[in-house]
């Protein structure tokens, strides 16, 4: 099992450009999520999905879109990049909500710089 994979590992964008961060998992997890991590802020939830076709906003959704057409894939789209979106982005997946101690598995992260 590859677990959670993310591409690209690094990306530099100019202000106003758009791009998609890719995330895939092979654990058949229904729940997937996107976080951003900034110094001194901890991990903050951007968007999440509880299954194919179902997505919802997290704590900091502005400027980002998601879709979930399959169980495996959960891409994150930056619509018009801004310097404030410079961050490290982590995708994660976990098992059913009923298991409150279910582990979250994280991808290796994407380091994004917006100039």
- Alpha-carbon distance of 29 to 26, in angstroms, equals 8
Please give the helix or strand (H or E) that residue 49 lies within, else none: strand 42-51
Alpha carbon separation from 67 to 41, 92, 100 (Å, rounded): 26, 15, 25
Least Cβ distance, residue 59 to another protein (angstroms):
8
Provide the CA 17 distance to its chain's centre, in angstroms: 18
- Alpha-carbon distance of 35 to 79, in angstroms, equals 17
Q: Taking CB under 8 A as the criterion, which residues in 56-95 touch another protein?
A: 56, 58-59, 90
Stretch that binds another protein, among 16-24, 69-77, 79-87, 98-106 (CB under 8 A): 98-106
Residue 41 within binding range of another protein, rule CB under 8 A = yes
- The single residue among 63, 75, 95, 109 that binds another protein, judged by CB under 8 A, is 109
30/73 with CB nearer another protein: 30
Site string (14-33) toward another protein, x via CB under 8 A: -----------------x-x
- Alpha-carbon distance of 80 to 74, in angstroms, equals 19
Residue 55 within binding range of another protein, rule CB under 8 A = no
**Radius of gyration of the chain from Cα atoms?**
13
The site for another protein (CB under 8 A) is made up of 31, 33, 35, 40-45, 48, 50, 56, 58-59, 90, 97, 100-101, 103-104, 106-109
């Amino acid at each position: 099992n590859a677990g959670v994979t993310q591409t690209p590992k690094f990306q530099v964008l100019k202000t106003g450009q758009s791009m998609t961060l890719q995330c895939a998992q092979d654990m058949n997890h229904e729940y997937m999520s996107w976080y951003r991590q900034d110094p001194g802020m901890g991990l903050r939830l951007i968007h999440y999905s509880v299954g194919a076709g179902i997505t919802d906003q997290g704590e900091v959704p502005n400027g980002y879109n998601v879709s979930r057409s399959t169980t495996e894939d959960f891409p994150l789209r930056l619509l018009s990049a801004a310097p404030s979106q410079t961050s490290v982005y982590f995708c994660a997946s976990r098992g059913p909500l009923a298991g409150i101690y279910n582990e979250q598995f994280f991808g290796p992260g994407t380091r994004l710089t917006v100039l």
